[in-house]
Amino acid sequence: MLFRLVAKDFRANGLYLAISLGILFVLNAILSFGVLGSESGPVSAGGDAKLTVAIPMFFLVSVLGSKVASLLFLKIDDMSDSNTFFASLPVKRKELVKARYISSAILACVALVVLLLATLPAYFIYGASYSETFSLLHYPAFWCIFLLFIWFSNSISFPFYFRFGLARGVFTVVIIQVLLATAMVIILLDPDVREGILDFAEGALDWINTIHIALLGLGSLGITLLLMLGSAMLSVKFYKVRDL
């Protein structure tokens, strides 16, 4: 049943999925050209400026784009009110929630693969002057970190969506984020605290550097999956008793 539910999303929303991924592809392809184009051109002040804009933009589009893509099915269901319809089928609500987690995780992967593929045209055209900066983009760890980040952040926000519905859930999450950011800024205003945190971060980084890269990867994956599991359990609890 779980498989059927996941398959249902892809079957029903294939068109929207293709369009969204298409947009991501084009956007990232253009950005890639921007990055490579500015690097391979004659070194000038203007080029540098473009580069400093293009690289962060690239990361932003990759992370935000795949994050948004991972919420695609949630968004479609929310807009078309199909939650009610699918809850009326002979399916447990628990399964509906689980299917959402799985399809979102898959969507994030698919989106990142598409984004990665989008860098290839620029790579092949400017291949001769393959740049230092651009090689960063083809470093697999980057994409894995992106993916884990999306899974991680979705795990935190999903229970809110299942508790309040997508629109109110997103609103709640944003409010919480703003509050946390404000709190952070206020804390960091104190130079002693700032010092302490920086020291701690340095120490933590040093410690992380001592760990084997494979172990580090597996560890992060494990933690993320655990968080996802806990999040799913919480979402099920919320969604089971929600009025649709």
Binding site for other proteins (CB under 8 A): 1, 4, 7-8, 11-12, 15-16, 77, 80-82, 84-85, 87-92, 241-244
The two structure tokens encoding residue 176: 């919480």
- Residue 47 CB partners (closer than 8 Å, separation 6+): 38, 39, 41
Residue 167: CB minimum distance to other proteins, A: 17
Residue 77: CB minimum distance to other proteins, A: 8
Indicate the SS3 state at residue 190.
Answer: coil
The two structure tokens encoding residue 57: 């933009």
Which CB, 7 or 174, lies closer to other proteins?
7
Residue 5: CB minimum distance to other proteins, A: 8
Distance (Å, rounded) from C-alpha 148 to C-alpha 223? Answer: 10
Residue 31 has a CB neighbour count (10 Å cut-off) of 24
Q: What counts of helices (H) and strands (E) characterise the chain? A: 12, 0
Residue 79: CB minimum distance to other proteins, A: 9
Which CB, 80 or 135, lies closer to other proteins?
80
What single-letter amino acid sits at 83?
A: N
Which CB, 132 or 243, lies closer to other proteins?
243
Which CB, 1 or 211, lies closer to other proteins?
1
